[in-house]
Amino acid sequence: MELFNFNFKAMGSPCSLSFYAPSASYANDTFVKARAAIAQLEQTYSIYKPDSLVCQINQNAGIRPILIDNQTYCLLKYADQAYQLSGGIFDITSGVLSDLWDFRQAKIPQDTQIKACKSLVDWTSVQWNQTEIYLPQIGMKLDLGGIVKEYAADMLASLMKQNKIDHGLVELGGDIYVLGEHLSGEPWLVDIKKPDSGKRPNRIAQIKMTRGGLASSGDYERNFNYQGVNYCHIINPQTGWPAQGLTAVSVRAEQCVLAGTLATIAMLKGQAAIEWLNQLEVDFVAQDNKGILHTNYTNS
């Protein structure tokens, strides 16, 4: 068995697969299958592909329902669970608010604009079942971007296991799934990134992983500073304003998609997230806007 590394770009992010395989041809075959699976997810759920399923759903908001497959139904069901867990602040209909906050222009929207967009954010009003989904208001937008990348990491890990790959690491834009330690028995070393005033994030910690998912959320991904206040791309749908209080959160969970959801909810909760994460008894590392580190992480 030999360690193989594949670097590629998907979902707008640098990605990599590292795993042990019996031969180069076997490893390459596994990688080709993984790339095809990622491409299918992007084609179905990207808001940047006009012919994607999500764009069809959004284009028909207030007009008609759109048919969905079982995979999409399962993602919607998960999104509903995340909405309930978060008390309504993890809402996949908040895409209109993300569009309003144009981080390329570094401009704060007017209160009237925020109020108008908030009226289009309401997951509970969406009509959906196992076969179709309907957004009831023209202008509503569904955005599964807060779920799909982490879901993809879990899916690729499952695909690799089906190909009898038992030792490896999936990384999709910083979201990670580890499916077994190195063949030597050593854990994989994973860096936790630290925001650094808009510069490339530095390492805040290095942890050891042998299995499970790890996902991070932070204000360093897309942000701008206006009059001394940092505004990040993570928008609270209940206020219409960017999340405040924390600059970065990393969470470890059995699945990467769950880790990602918890990290995003934590960013939205701000400093109240520290107590919330402790109550959930999940491993996490968080940094607040004063630079103070909060963690209950155990390296295992």
User: What CATH number has the domain bearing residue 201?
Assistant: 3.10.520.10
| Pair 131, 229 in one domain | no
Mean pLDDT for 222-249 is 84
Q: Is the pLDDT of residue 198 over 60?
A: no
Among 1, 3, 7, 54, residue whose Cα is nearest residue 35? 7
Residue 194 pLDDT more than 80?
no
What pLDDT, on the 0 to 100 scale, is given for residue 204?
Answer: 76
**Half-sphere CA count of 249, side-chain side, radius 13 A:** 29
Per-residue confidence (pLDDT) for residue 144, from 0 to 100: 96
Per residue in 71-129, pLDDT (tens digit) is 999 999 999 999 999 999 999 999 999 889 877 777 788 999 999 999 999 999 999 99
**pLDDT above 80: residue 163:** yes
295 carries a ligand binding annotation: no
Q: How many domains does the chain have?
A: 2
pTM > 0.95: no
Task: For residue 113, give its domain range.
Answer: 53-142
Would the annotation count 146 as a binding residue? yes
Is 153 a member of any domain?
Answer: no
Position 101 scores a pLDDT of 87
Question: At 136, is the pLDDT very low, low, confident or very high (cuts 50, 70, 90)?
Answer: very high
133 within some domain: yes
Q: Does 203 reside within a domain?
A: yes
Q: Are 158 and 114 in contact (CB under 8 A)?
A: no
Looking at every residue in the chain, the average pLDDT score rounds to: 92
**Domain finish residue from 114, 142, 170:** 142
